Amino acid sequence: MPTAHGPAQDGTPDEPPALEGPEADEAFPPGLLSDRDRRILAFERQWWKHAGAKEQAIREQFDMSATRYYQLLNHVIDLPEALQHDPMLVKRLRRLRSQRRRQRAARRLGLHT
């Protein structure tokens, strides 16, 4: 099972903290995507259709903070089951996450991207 990452240095939600306790087992059973995982992927496919800010849509759709949503999203896109479920979306989300990581690293090193 993939591991979750620690929090990002600059406070962005790309690097979620590790999940612990019963919540981790409940949220991510091995070998399959939960209904919530599938809903998160579906939301990422079409969030732009929602009126208003993405953070507001996250609260309305999932009843959680944007930070928590991004923690879950980052875990979900690391699951092989997510890649099987929607390969194009998951690859795009992974690529965007990698770009943001590279940009943050370049800023820390004083490089311009």
Which amino acid, 28? F
pLDDT at 69: 97
CA dihedral 56, 57, 62, 64 (to 10 degrees): -20
How far, in Å, CA of 92 to CA of 100, rounded?
Answer: 12
pLDDT at 31: 64
Sequence-separated (6 or more) residues with CB below 8 Å from residue 21: none
**pLDDT tens-digit profile of 55-86?**
999 999 999 999 999 999 999 999 999 999 99
Task: Extract the tokens encoding 46.
Answer: 């079409």
How far, in Å, CA of 11 to CA of 33, rounded?
Answer: 27
Q: Which residues in the chain show pLDDT less than 70?
A: 1-31, 112-113
